[in-house]
Structure 1
Amino acid sequence: MEGLSLDKFLEHQISSNGWYVEKLFGGGQLVILPPNEDNYPKLKKSIVESIPLEHVSKLFPILT
């Protein structure tokens, strides 16, 4: 993508998905994505934070 179609795509992503465009010294632009578990390692869920299916199925036997 380039030109007007790229500008429209970025406008849409900025307004709906939390993207941010930062102006750089020298006239360039940097697109900053919102933090998520893929691009910000501190947001990754660890195995300790997950609940095993066996525990959930004891609470809701209809799931098994």
Structure 2
Amino acid sequence: MVVFTGPVLANRRKTLDELSQQLTAGYFPSAPNAETCPRCPHWFACGRLPAGNLIIGSHSEAL
């Protein structure tokens, strides 16, 4: 059994909250790495996508 202390648990919750807010906002930053990028399934798309948030819906809704 793993037991987390109060500060560790609070830090983990804070990190998860921040990550979920970023994902909800459509924030997916690239992190280029010469070692892992060539093996990544998104190798040909990463960096070619436009900057900004992911908007789900028709183009007219995004304007």
Flag the structure with larger Rg: 1
- The answer to which structure has the higher helix fraction is 1
Q: What is the TM-score when the length of structure 2 is the normalising length?
A: 0.28
Q: What is the TM-score when the length of structure 1 is the normalising length?
A: 0.27
